[in-house]
Chain A
Amino acid sequence: MTTQLSWQQDHHYLTGLRRDLLRFARLQLRDAVAAEDAVQEALTAAYTAPQQFGGQSQHKTWVFGILRHKLVDTLRARYRTINLSALEAEIEGEALLDDLLFKANDHWAADTRPRPWPKPETALAQKQFWLLFELCLNNLPESTGRVFMMREFLGLETDEICVELAVSANHCSVLLYRARLKLRTCLTEKGYDGEDCDEYV
């Protein structure tokens, strides 16, 4: 199936695509201007490449792929390695979070025990979820946030990340664990309860 309208002329599609690309770039780069530039470059590259697509979802994946490559290059240039002493400090600073979440016997404390959120289809349609997700991502400590984003947003394998940042495999997986634990705790603390189902993005 080929689309009648070329994607360059489909304003509704373009607006949504641009918004999604910007969110992706902004989260990675933590810099609105650099994010705008990266998205503009990716869209320009997409405009000039003659491609035929079966539909918008394939096209979107392709443009995201272009942007992803740009972001990987930018981040590689920006960060050669992680500062190991800063990393140790980050991991040591985590004792406070553990005290909040776990009892002395290392089981969940009753008042902070994780309770299920809505199903992904529901959660991802909520404005509240995305606001808090972005806020909490930006609250992650530097190295923790970087490793999480390389893994989850750039889709790199853990081995690649360890090599890239010159940290041990154990450090990588600890950082990913701490990132997920912090994110879910932050969303909960900021009041994500998954109950604003009438407010869709």
Chain B
Amino acid sequence: MSTCKKISRLLSDALDRPLQTGEWLEVHAHLPICRGCRGYKQQISVLRAAAQRVRGEEPETR
């Protein structure tokens, strides 16, 4: 069973490299049933947007 610890690590990895198919499926099976991981994913996307702003780029809106 996927744990939130593992999924949160994969959500972070996804910002740095493409996930492998198995990893991607695991993440997307877990997200719909886990509010905490959805919250975490949203928060790290705000951190990424902030970093883009800091380096003088307009954040991509997703």
Name A's B-contacting residues (CB within 8 A).
20-21, 23-24, 27, 57, 60-61, 63-64, 68, 98, 102, 105-108, 113-121, 123-124, 129-130, 133, 151-155, 157-158, 173, 176-177, 180-181, 183-184, 187
What residues on A are CB-neighbors of B13 within 8 Å?
A: 173, 177
B56 with A61: CB separation less than 8 A: yes
A155 to B16, CA, bound (A): 10
Docked-complex contact A151 and B43, CB < 8 angstroms: no
Residues from chain B with a CB closer than 8 A to the CB of A130 are: 50
Interface assignment of B31: CB less than 8 Å from any CB of chain A: no
Interface Cβ pair total, 8 Å cutoff: 111
Seen from chain B, the residues whose Cβ lies within 8 Å of a Cβ on chain A are 3-6, 8-9, 12-13, 15-17, 34-40, 42-51, 53-59, 61
CB within 8 Å for A184 and B16 given contacts A106-B5, A107-B3, A116-B39: no
**Cβ B44 vs Cβ A107 within 8 A:** no
Q: Are A158 and B17 in contact (CB under 8 A)?
A: yes
Are B50 and A124 in contact, with the CB atoms below 8 A? Answer: yes
Given contacts A113-B36, A117-B46, 12 further A-B pairs with CB under 8 A are: A61-B56, A64-B55, A102-B5, A106-B3, A108-B36, A117-B42, A154-B55, A176-B12, A180-B12, A181-B12, A184-B40, A184-B44
Q: How far is the CA of A81 from the CA of B36 in the complex (A)?
A: 36
Contact check, B16 vs A173: say whether CB atoms are below 8 A apart. yes
Q: Which residues of B contact A121 (CB under 8 A)?
A: 61
Closest chain A residue to B48 by CB distance? Answer: A152
